[in-house]
Amino acid sequence: MSDIAGTWFQYAYLCSDGYFVDISDTGDCAYYEFAYPNIFTQYTVNESGEKEIIKQGEWVYNAETKIAHITEPKGWNLDIAFDFGVLNDSYIATMKIKGRTQNSSSTIKARLLR
């Protein structure tokens, strides 16, 4: 894909045993929003339907490397490598998220909501 703009809904994460755990029906899913011109927001939705922001910043995407770089004001920058696919007529991606610490790094599966 040449454009990652939109909202990506996390539906699974890679556990320490090496397989993906489906969390789509748990309410523990995160959203990764890539808005134009370059605003990034990672958030969850609470029981009241309100966004709870986890991280915000600015994003730049390189379509050749399939990596998005997020610059966060406090320095907790992220690099997200995308591996794209299609499932049931929806764009999906495995997102390898590399943060500054082990706790801010993970691998997830997400679906593009747009």
| Residue labelled with tokens 């696919």 | 85
pLDDT at 1 over 80: no
Taking all residues of the chain, what is their mean pLDDT, rounded to a whole number? Answer: 93
pLDDT at 102 over 90: no
Q: Which fold has domain 6-112?
A: Lipocalin (2.40.128)
State mean pLDDT over 18-41: 94
What are residue 110's DSSP bridge partners?
A: 10, 93
Q: Which of 44, 51, 39 is nearest to 4 (CA)?
A: 39
Q: Which two tokens stand for residue 20?
A: 């993906």
Q: Cβ(53)–Cβ(72) under 8 Å?
A: no
Give the pLDDT confidence score for residue 88 in this predicted structure.
Answer: 84
Q: Which of 104, 51, 50 is nearest to 74 (CA)?
A: 104
Q: Cβ(60)–Cβ(48) under 8 Å?
A: no
State mean pLDDT over 68-78: 94
Domain boundaries, the chain: 6-112
pLDDT at 18 over 90: yes
